[in-house]
Homo-oligomer: A and B are copies of this chain.
Amino acid sequence: VTRILITSGPTRQYLDPVRYLTNASSGRMGDALARAVLALGHEVVIVSGPVEVKYPEAARVHWIVSTDELLEVSRREFQHCQGVIGAAAPCDYQPQRVSETKISKTGGPLVLELIETPDVMATLGAEKRADQWAVGFALETDDQRFKALTKLIKKSCDLMVLNGPQAMNSLENQVEIMDSSGEVLKSFAGTKEWVGQEILNVIQERLIRSKS
């Protein structure tokens, strides 16, 4: 049996017990991908940030909040999976200091010093064995193909799915799939359910079959 790991939803980086930095992400693309994985007869493990989406009953779901937690759980689960699809939108900056109590307003400006969180897909990509594969997602607002290809290289992904900001919190999506040479293999537009199935068809043909 082929087991596939899907990361899904946003992560949160808290400044204090109330306020946090996050990314717009509903978890709907991760849910659609999980359903498509199950429909092809594979097993699926989801590591998800806080979302209201109802993931399929047949999926094993780990709930996390921060990017550190996403990385930790994903690394552990990835060892037992053939591949990973990184549909999560991890918050990539975190406050240098987190306040234990709610920061009171002062009437003046607040300077927030942020540092990068760990790169989840780059870590999984670097650690993947020869019999494993990784598919990343790149959401860019400008210079999309170039930024997607540099992300694919940096994260050691086999395929990269490109989408634009119109994907966020929407039921529809428009994507391109790029391979590691930068070639655009396919492009789809439609509901996230349908786009998820089409992405899985490409993954099935290009990655799952060849590594099974």
**Interface on A for B, CB 8 Å cutoff?**
15-24, 50, 52, 89, 91-93, 96, 100-102, 104-105, 107-116, 139-142, 147, 165, 168-169
Which of chain B's residues have a CB closer than 8 A to the CB of A23?
18-20
Least distance between A42 CB and chain B CB atoms (Å): 29
Find out whether the CB atom of B24 lies under 8 angstroms from the CB atom of A22.
no
A22 to B20, alpha carbons, bound, how many Å? 6
A168 to B93, alpha carbons, bound, how many Å? 23
Contact residue among B21, B102, B107, B168 (Cβ-Cβ distance under 8 Å from A21)? B21
Find out whether the CB atom of A93 lies under 8 angstroms from the CB atom of B113.
no
Find out whether the CB atom of B17 lies under 8 angstroms from the CB atom of A141.
yes
Main secondary structure of the interface of A (DSSP, over half): loop
Most buried by B among A107, A109, A115: A109
Contact residue among B52, B102, B140 (Cβ-Cβ distance under 8 Å from A140)? B102
Which of chain B's residues have a CB closer than 8 A to the CB of A50?
169
Which of chain B's residues have a CB closer than 8 A to the CB of A92?
105
A93 to B142, alpha carbons, bound, how many Å? 27
Find out whether the CB atom of B111 lies under 8 angstroms from the CB atom of A116.
no
**Given A110-B114, A112-B112, A114-B112: A168 and B24 within 8 A (CB)?**
no
**Given A112-B114, A114-B110, A116-B107: A102 and B18 within 8 A (CB)?**
no
22 pairs from A and B in contact (CB 8 Å cutoff) = A15-B21, A16-B141, A17-B141, A18-B139, A18-B165, A18-B168, A19-B21, A19-B91, A20-B24, A22-B22, A96-B109, A100-B141, A101-B141, A102-B139, A102-B141, A102-B142, A108-B116, A110-B113, A110-B116, A111-B112, A112-B113, A112-B114
